Amino acid sequence: MPAVTAEQRQYRTYILTNSEARLELVPERGGIATSWQVQNQEMFYLDSERFTHPELSVRGGIPILFPICGNLPEDRYSHAGQFYKLKQHGFARDMPWQAQETNPEQAALTLVLESNLQTLEVYPFEFQLAFTYALQGRSLLLTQRHSNRSNQPMPISTGLHPYFCVSDKSQLQVEIPASQYQEKSSPNPQPFQGLDFELEEIDRAFRPLSQQTSRVIDRQRQLSLQLDYDSHYSTLVFWAVKGKDFYCLEPWSAPRNAMNTGEDLLIVPPQSSLETQVKFTVDFL
């Protein structure tokens, strides 16, 4: 039977379960999903040591990216003639969220983040984020509602930064629906001809995307992970570091620096909401 329970650990942790999967959520630590087990196999990587230190960003699980994805030059952007500073990936992943509603019949939980004086200093919009995590068999569905409570249009980039565990990257088959990519360090597109996991680091933004699905096959673990994302997402970022037991496949609604360039930036009208969806599905080979 689907269920939603809670445990008090270092942080209050909510546990969603169904007959095939288990998900752990920690609202206080950036609304993050820290563990996703499918048929008792862990899908997420988590640096447990960093997780215990509130002053450090979490490396693992699914950090939430809002209101920007990636970094800005000198961490600066301009809006309505004023300059503001936002650090890489924004602030949502570092702020406490609230568990708002529980739906144990569907193994679903909604987490909420609202604007406050701290966010208004760096992002001059009143907002509410309501992100619902739901287990559906071997799938994890994330439905994200971005509500603009301001009287002016609200620009956003929204994204997810999931860390998937892997023990042998040479056994990965990565299927990304794009013919080109941009390195983080270069604005010039390059043709996509596969990934070289012998590199010290891979940090590539793939765009434009030809379809709304991507897949990674892990032959060592005998499983495939499919990522489905709606049409609001224009960019997939693949990140991996040599010697680390993770890879990241990140759906972004806009590329780096979109808050300055306007490229694929989403605009939420005043007193309106924008909803996006991302789904992860595991199949065993």
pLDDT digit string (tens) for 56-84? Answer: 888 999 999 999 999 999 999 999 999 99
pLDDT tens, 141-191? 999 999 999 999 999 999 999 999 999 999 999 999 999 999 987 778 999
Whether this prediction's pTM lies above 0.85 is answered by yes
Name the nearest CA neighbour of 177 among 218, 208, 219: 208
Name the nearest CA neighbour of 249 among 208, 220, 223, 278: 278
3-state secondary structure of 92: helix
- What distances in angstroms separate CA 212 from CA 44, 208, 227, 282, one per listed residue? 22, 11, 8, 17
Query: What is the pLDDT confidence band of residue 104, given thresholds at 50, 70 and 90?
Result: low
Name the nearest CA neighbour of 178 among 216, 206, 205, 215: 206
Cβ atoms of 43 and 282 closer than 8 Å: yes
Cβ atoms of 32 and 48 closer than 8 Å: no
3-state secondary structure of 136: strand
d(CA 248, CA 229): 15
Assess whether pLDDT exceeds 80 at residue 103. Answer: no
d(CA 62, CA 162): 4
Reading the block at residue 253, the tokens are: 């609604």
Contacts of 193 (CB under 8 A, 6+ apart): none
Reading the block at residue 5, the tokens are: 């329970």
Cβ atoms of 97 and 120 closer than 8 Å: no
The pLDDT of residue 12 is: 96
Nearest-5° Cα angle at 234, 230 to 240: 105
d(CA 236, CA 251): 5
Determine which helix (DSSP H) or strand (DSSP E) holds 153, and give its type and residue range.
Answer: none
Phi, psi (degrees; rounded to nearest 5) at 100: -100, -45
The pLDDT of residue 22 is: 98
CATH class of the 3-284 domain in this structure: mainly beta
Query: What is the pLDDT confidence band of residue 101, given thresholds at 50, 70 and 90?
Result: confident
Contacts of 204 (CB under 8 A, 6+ apart): 181, 182, 183, 184, 195, 237, 238, 239
User: How do 163-165 and 246-252 pair as beta strands?
Assistant: antiparallel
